[in-house]
Amino acid sequence: MSTSRNAPVPSASTSWTWPHPPRSNRYGATVTEVLDSASDGRRVAVIEGAVWPPVGTSIRVFEDETHVRVGSVLSVDLVLEKSEPARIVVTAEFSRPPA
């Protein structure tokens, strides 16, 4: 008797294609969005609360235990919009760490 199973297909996600994280708006709290200028301004992290790193400082964003983005902060902006909580947008230029 022979049985056949399909082998699991590996995910196409890599540390540079991980999902675009949604922006949280829990309880109307201020959020900090981290954008990657090296990936056409793609949002790579959302932090509940206000984080205001100095321009030029090093920043790391961890996807999981093995995938990390490392870069430096290019700009920090406070965005105030009508009918929405304030948000802080941190733009950084990330590079791939050596394997």
pLDDT digits 0-9 by tens, 62-81: 877 777 889 999 999 999 88
The predicted pLDDT at position 2 comes to 47
* Residues whose CB is less than 8 angstroms from the CB of residue 30 and which lie 6 or more positions away in sequence, other chains included: 49, 50, 85, 86, 87, 88
Q: What residue type is 60 in one-letter code?
A: R
* Alpha-helix runs per DSSP H in the chain: none
| pLDDT value of position 4 | 46
Identify any residues that bridge with 72 across adjacent strands, giving them in sequence order. 58, 93
Q: What average pLDDT does range 10-34 have in this prediction?
A: 66
Question: How confident is the model over 1-23, as a mean pLDDT?
Answer: 54
Farthest-apart Cα atoms in the chain, separation = 67
Question: 70: number of CA atoms within 13 Å, CB side?
Answer: 7
Checking if the pLDDT of 93 tops 90, the result is yes
Q: Please give the C-alpha separations between residue 45 and each of 3, 7, 26, 34, 48, in angstroms, as whole numbers.
A: 44, 32, 16, 5, 10
Mean of the per-residue pLDDT values for the chain? 78
**φ, ψ of residue 94 in degrees (nearest 5):** -95, 150
Taking the C-alpha atoms of 74, 99, 61 and 94 in order, what is their torsion angle to the nearest 10 degrees? 20
